[in-house]
Amino acid sequence: MRAVRPTAPRAGAVPDVVTPAAGAPRPAAKASQPRSALFRSTAFRLTLLYMGVFAIFATFALGYVAWNARNLIEDQIRQTIDAEITGLSEQFRQGGIRRLVNVIEQRARGPGASLYLVTTPFGERLAGNVEQVPVGLLDRAGESEIPFSRNGEDQPSARPAVAIVRVYLLPAGFRVLVGRDASERDRLRAIVRRAGGWSLGVVLVLGVLGGFVIARRILKRVDAMSATTVSIMSSDLKDRLPLAGNGDELDRLAGNLNTMLDRITVLMGGIRQVSDTIAHDLKTPLTRLRNRAEEALRPNATQEDMRRALEGVTDDADNLIRVFNALLMIARLEAGQAREVMAPFDASAAAQGVAELYEALAEEAGASLTCAITPDISAFGSRELVGQALSNMIDNALKYGRPADGSAPMITLGLAREGGNVVFSVRDHGPGIPPDQHGRALERFGRLDASRSQPGFGLGLSLVRAVAQIHEGTLELKDNAPGLAVVLTIPAARAQGEPDDRTAR
């Protein structure tokens, strides 16, 4: 709800409500924060979080690629070994062990050759380019990984090469070992590890930088906003947060904060106005009360004088109590209390009762009160509160509803059902209230200047409005052409069969 700012009756320049940037003092002092503040800052924590997430994803992606590549290489090695074994067993089948040994000796000499070893069933070496194998390796068929060195080759590095080998048993008990150097695979592993290290480092650095820059950018605005808020709070709530104008989350936040500030200003203005009015409007009757008491204390006052003065004092005090009761009641209604007395009630009878109560008074005042009440309407709410509201509405009409030409006031109390609502109305043919003053007429102590001469404190209609609010209904002032129509709308009682519980609200 965007409320209208009350025109503060204050001398001097009234600054524009939404002052973009210009009015907001910049927080220069806040820029040099102590070091430890950095580690506690959201920026730092966000950066760490970004970085952690980045690193985890990078490691995962790289690891996945490496694992796949390794599998691919191992598969290739195995296929090669399979093909060789197939070929060698074919040679053995065709030419026996002699031919196999020949073929192996031939193949083992080639550049980049595989690893070969043929032994007797007892493990004596027949041919091949493998110097040593672990004990017992040849006893069983199957695949394994062994360190190896080729015949006639020096060990160039301290680290022994690793090969994937497969042992195959030939029909006569001869054993064939075929293997391939797996260093290609290990080289890849090393490359990946190095790449992983580097990229992780890069990710860390980039993450720190990027996260920090991004977080700073956002949080700088948040910091600026919070600093501006502090300065707004310490001043008189006149300044507003600057808007970047791009409509992002922070802009919306700033906008909402500004709206909240507007609302607070309006409410504070309302409170100030009410307390001003209370002080002002109650001063008069209190002064009168005091004067009467003083009158009774005059040295030459007779018994009768004193009695009359004290009676006047009692009346004045009663009136003041009445005002405070009304104020309290409005406050409690606005706070949403009294909800639990809500129940379906006969609105027609309630309206009729209030009309009956006021008919005599209206007649006495030379007015006429007529009813236009539809029978058998039930409403949901508090009969008591609605009764009071109607009585205030009629009271108001009796006070202010006298036509300008001085003829007898004609007041109509109406009740009708409109859809799911029950509509009470009190219409008069008095001078009415100009539309631009309708809001003012509903405020506490909101008496229009024209009515200042009449008795009353201007609480009547604000109480009616509070009653409307607690019923989740509305109170409207309308032009009765001529005159004023005060229309109170509250929900109707629900159809039969529904429980008349109070908890349903």
> Which residues here bind other proteins, judged by CB under 8 A?
311, 314, 318, 321-322, 325, 328-329, 332, 337-341, 353-354, 356-358, 360-361, 364, 382, 384-385, 387-388, 391-392, 395, 398, 456, 460
The answer to whether 480 touches 432, Cβ cutoff 8 Å, is yes
Which CB atom, from 227 or from 468, has the smaller least distance to other proteins?
A: 468
- For β-strands 125-128 and 161-169, DSSP reports them as unpaired
Q: How far apart are CA 63 and CA 349, in angstroms?
A: 83
Q: How far apart are CA 99 and CA 92, in angstroms?
A: 7
CB of 357 to other proteins, least distance (A): 6
Which CB atom, from 3 or from 361, has the smaller least distance to other proteins?
A: 361
- How many C-beta neighbours within 10 Å does residue 47 have? 21
- For β-strands 421-427 and 484-491, DSSP reports them as antiparallel
Concatenating the DSSP letter of every residue in 245-282 gives SS--HHHHHHHHHHHHHHHHHHHHHHHHHHHHHHHHHH
CB of 345 to other proteins, least distance (A): 11
CB of 315 to other proteins, least distance (A): 8
Which CB atom, from 348 or from 392, has the smaller least distance to other proteins?
A: 392
Give strand pairing partners of 35. Answer: none
What the block records as the tokens of 269 is 């203005």
CB of 298 to other proteins, least distance (A): 21
Which CB atom, from 261 or from 323, has the smaller least distance to other proteins?
A: 323
CB of 365 to other proteins, least distance (A): 9
**Residue with tokens 């022994």, as numbered in its chain:** 160
What the block records as the tokens of 267 is 């409410």
Question: Which residues have C-beta within 8 Å of that of residue 198, sequence separation ≥ 6?
Answer: none
CB of 458 to other proteins, least distance (A): 12
Q: How far apart are CA 392 and CA 380, in angstroms?
A: 20
CB of 500 to other proteins, least distance (A): 15
Which CB atom, from 394 or from 485, has the smaller least distance to other proteins?
A: 394
Which CB atom, from 196 or from 456, has the smaller least distance to other proteins?
A: 456
Write out the E strands in 266-390: 343-346, 368-373, 378-381
The answer to whether 350 touches 387, Cβ cutoff 8 Å, is yes
Which CB atom, from 270 or from 387, has the smaller least distance to other proteins?
A: 387
Length of the chain, in residues: 505
CB of 447 to other proteins, least distance (A): 14
DSSP class of 4:
P
For the chain, the distance separating the N- and C-terminal CA atoms, rounded to the nearest angstrom, is 24
DSSP class of 31:
G
Which CB atom, from 395 or from 472, has the smaller least distance to other proteins?
A: 395
CB of 1 to other proteins, least distance (A): 27
Which CB atom, from 392 or from 489, has the smaller least distance to other proteins?
A: 392
Q: How far apart are CA 245 and CA 255, in angstroms?
A: 10
Which CB atom, from 251 or from 359, has the smaller least distance to other proteins?
A: 359
- How many C-beta neighbours within 10 Å does residue 103 have? 19
Cα 325 vs. chain centroid, distance in angstroms? 39
CB of 329 to other proteins, least distance (A): 6
